[in-house]
Amino acid sequence: MIGTVRFASSGLVPWRLLLPLAAGSIPAAFLGGAVSLPTHAHRILLGVVLLFAAFRLWWKTGPGVKLRPRPGAAALVAIGAGLGLLSGLTGVGGGIFLSPLLILLRWEEVRRTAGASVAFILVNSLAGLLGHLAAGRAVPGGTWILVPAVVVGGFFGSWLGAKRLGTLALRRTLAAVLGVASIKLLSE
């Protein structure tokens, strides 16, 4: 929530892109959060995809990015549904999937991608958590102990992303986050 407010107040959330994506992702994240699947093969596949995206983001640089036209609203809703389902199934907020998609397909520039990502994570995390709870499962014990770290990280990270880091640093930070997520998925 902290990141969404900070990026939105800086005009860095591309709402026209994000709203159809979220319209598809929210119900799909809820459903994904309610489902419990054997995930070993699923996690390996996602880990490899995220690792590929991390490498592409780390090394693919160049002067200025010419943005491509985005698909229509119906296609964005469908893409959002796929991302939301992945988000709910994996327990990851979905921005980890959305960010490389927006950057590598050149639908948005890096800083606005970060703004889209934090808002997307917020809505998908809430929907996935509600689906998880609706399926009769509990929040893991000790989760609330992490809240202070999340608040501090949210304030500092969103300040860096919205105000301080350059485009290359943002791309490489995202690549590092994708790499960590990939290693986490592949090691489980």
Burial 71-88 (b: 16+ CB within 10 A, else e): eeeeebbebbbebbbbbb
User: Distance (Å, rounded) from C-alpha 138 to C-alpha 150?
Assistant: 20
| pLDDT of amino acid 64 | 64
DSSP the chain: -HHHHHHHHTT---HHHHHHHHHHHHHHHHHHHH-----HHHHHHHHHHHHHHHHHHHH---SS-PPPPPPPHHHHHHHHHHHHHHHHHHTS-SHHHHHHHHHHTTSS-HHHHHHHHHHHHHHHHHHHHHHHHHTTPPPPTTGGGGHHHHHHHHHHHHHIIIII--HHHHHHHHHHHHHHHHHHHHH-
- pTM summary value: 0.79
At 111-165, the pLDDT tens digits run 899 899 999 988 888 888 888 888 888 887 888 888 888 889 888 888 888 888 8
**Per-residue confidence band for 38, with pLDDT thresholds at 50, 70 and 90:** low
Of the candidates 3, 170, 13, 17, the one whose C-alpha atom is nearest the C-alpha of residue 100 is 170
Show me where the domains of the chain are located: 2-140+166-187
